[in-house]
Structure 1
Amino acid sequence: MATIARSRRIFSLVLKSNKNPRLYSTVSANGPKEPIISSSILGDPSSTTPPPVPPPESAEAGRGGGQPWSFLKYTLLAAVTGGVATAGYATYAYTLEEIDQKTKALRASANVSVGDDLSSSDKFQAMLKSAAMTVPAKLVELYLELRAAAEDHVRGFTEPLSDKLLPDLHPLEQHICTLVLDLNETLLYSDWKRDRGWRTFKRPGVDEFLEQLAQYYEIIVYSDQQSMYVDPIVERLDTKHVIRYRLSRAATRYQDGKHYRDLSKLNRDPSRILYISGNCLESCLQPENCVPVKPWKCEADDTALVDLIPFLEYVARNRPADIRPVLASYQGRDIAKEFIERNKEHQRKMQEQKQQGRLWRR
């Protein structure tokens, strides 16, 4: 009986302990938990919460909004690059006149007139075509205007200052030949040294050469130097004033990095022009009128100018219809020496003919 009473007492203590709220909460804490939000935290203004993260859809929409502008930007860049490249190639490959001829149809297509007798669809197509061709046509016209202005500006530096560098020849002198002379290494030589600076030396025989040939020729100095250099030099060189005109760099044609003498701009008959220079084939655009002479670089025993006098006097006295075939017959030879040899040969033949004539008379 004592054992049964003891068991009942233990069972009643166990029942009392299960009714204790602290023990109940401990057991329930081990079960599944749910999130608990405190009302005091929600209502507290001093507390800070991180901003909500935008959904992925809005970020994608923000990035996609710039795609049309980027496409337009790159399209315009490609169009400008292609236009510049096309204009550069056209400038290199074609002249202004050729481009004007090739683009006439394109420019005319922008001026399509829409007739009243056309149907609505035809009018729409004509207007659409005209609108589509207006921009290219205007760009071509702008290119032609800009290129014409640029070429006119460049021509002022590369072309002779006038199409007629010399005044008209007097009617009584139409039969006279024009003798064009280079300056440096032909009539004189300019040299520079550190101890004395620039000095100009006159070629041996230049005074005799000028004075003698002034009786037969119209003498002109044509140099590629600036006029501020040419004018005082010629004044000191030509003490007897036998040189009629002097032309400087402004009268030359600038081509391939060099200043060339353009004899076609002298306003003289090209069949009566002789150009004498120590570098004539490298400085003149009309090699058929050139009379090469040895370049002079202060050699004291030089006689090149004096040796040319007989040949030039012979040409002036005989007045060939065209001097260019005569000069072509001396091509690649020393004209002064070759003329002496031909003159000797001519005299020998004349002597033979005289002897044969005497024999026939006998």
Structure 2
Amino acid sequence: MLDDYGQVTCSPRKPRSCKIFKALFCCLREAQDAPKPLPFSQDALLEPEDNGDVVKPQLSSGPSLLPEMVPQDQGKICVVIDLDETLVHSSFKPISNADFIVPVEIEGTMHQVYVLKRPYVDEFLRRMGELFECILFTASLAKYADPVTDLLDQCGVFRARLFRESCVFHQGCYVKDLSLLGRELHKTLILDNSPASYTFHPENAVPVLSWFDDAEDVELLHLLPVFEDLSQAEDVYTKLGELRAP
């Protein structure tokens, strides 16, 4: 397994409330140090430097991981969005109702990866692209995550894509260091199902439950009101603090 509609009908469940958000955050915060399951065939995709030491990304294109913000995003908050178990779930095992089938080469052999889209992901990404500067950031390798994102992001919501080589390998986990992005931290959020991924910046995180194959899942739909509220924040720390407050 992997660690990244037209008109949507109304869901019978009520939108996520601040209390639900607070409860989810507290629950996931307790598991902050738990390592994130690594991408589908981790043994096949491990890099030679994954030896337990701290490995930081090489910023070959400049002083930060991201290019300058485009004019139409000026003033917007930057949201870093995870891929696997947040937006999609993928597997080497054939899935009859897969939304995508992506060929991935591993050690000279082509493998088929079966990808399921999380319910409401299309509506979620479309609205997020209107509200924020959206960045895909996954611990998966680009040779898998890039073609999946090509198929998933038909509207070009993601301004940039960051993959495993942009993570910091720290204590056995791939951590997404927001300080390397080149964005002001008080105007940056991260959406990820794994607290280990944002262990350096827990106060910037909007937690999301891991998703695998539940066709009735409405997590992304419930998160939209939370992000609509956050999009107006001058300081994400203040706004997130209000959402987490008793």
TM bucket, shorter chain: 0.5 to 0.7
Matched with 1:300 is: 215
Report matched runs for 1:154-193 at 5 Å: 158-162=55-59, 163-170=63-70, 173-193=73-93
CA shift for structure 1 position 311 = 1.6
**Alignment of 1:278 onto 2:193:** yes
Q: Select the structure that is richer in helix.
A: 1
- So what's the TM-score if we normalise by structure 1? 0.45
| Residues 331 and 314 of structure 1: CA distance in aligned 2, closer, same or farther (over 3 Å) | closer
**Which of 227, 240, 255 is the equivalent residue of 2:142?**
227
**Alignment of 1:208 onto 2:123:** yes
**Which of 144, 158, 167 is the equivalent residue of 1:243?**
158
Q: What SS class does the counterpart of residue 92 from structure 2 fall into?
A: strand
Unaligned runs of 5+ in 1: 1-153, 334-362
Q: What SS class does the counterpart of residue 329 from structure 1 fall into?
A: helix
Matched with 2:20 is: none
C-alpha separation in 1, matches of 2:229 and 2:74: 18
C-alpha separation in 2, matches of 1:215 and 1:252: 26
Q: Select the structure that is richer in strand.
A: 2
C-alpha separation in 2, matches of 1:195 and 1:170: 39
What number of residue pairs does the alignment pair up?
A: 176
Report matched runs for 1:337-348 at 5 Å: none
Alpha-carbon contact 2:79-2:132 (below 8 Å) kept: yes
C-alpha separation in 2, matches of 1:239 and 1:320: 28
Identity of counterpart residues, as a percentage? 32
1:283 maps to a residue whose letter is S
| Residues 232 and 290 of structure 1: CA distance in aligned 2, closer, same or farther (over 3 Å) | same
Q: What SS class does the counterpart of residue 204 from structure 1 fall into?
A: coil
C-alpha separation in 2, matches of 1:261 and 1:195: 30
Matched with 2:235 is: 322
- Structure whose alpha-carbon radius of gyration is higher: 1
Matched with 1:92 is: none
Cα deviation per residue 1:321-342 (whole Å; 9 max; x = unaligned)?
A: 2101221333399xxxxxxxxx
Q: What SS class does the counterpart of residue 246 from structure 1 fall into?
A: strand
Matched with 2:133 is: 218
CA shift for structure 1 position 211 = 0.7
C-alpha separation in 2, matches of 1:329 and 1:161: 36
| Residues 282 and 331 of structure 1: CA distance in aligned 2, closer, same or farther (over 3 Å) | farther
C-alpha RMSD of the superposition: 2.4
Alpha-carbon contact 2:95-2:114 (below 8 Å) kept: no
Report matched runs for 1:1-362 at 5 Å: 158-162=55-59, 163-170=63-70, 173-193=73-93, 198-279=113-194, 281-284=195-198, 285-316=200-231, 319-331=232-244
C-alpha separation in 2, matches of 1:222 and 1:195: 25
| Residues 208 and 158 of structure 1: CA distance in aligned 2, closer, same or farther (over 3 Å) | same
Alpha-carbon contact 2:134-2:158 (below 8 Å) kept: yes
- So what's the TM-score if we normalise by structure 2? 0.66
Alpha-carbon contact 2:73-2:133 (below 8 Å) kept: no
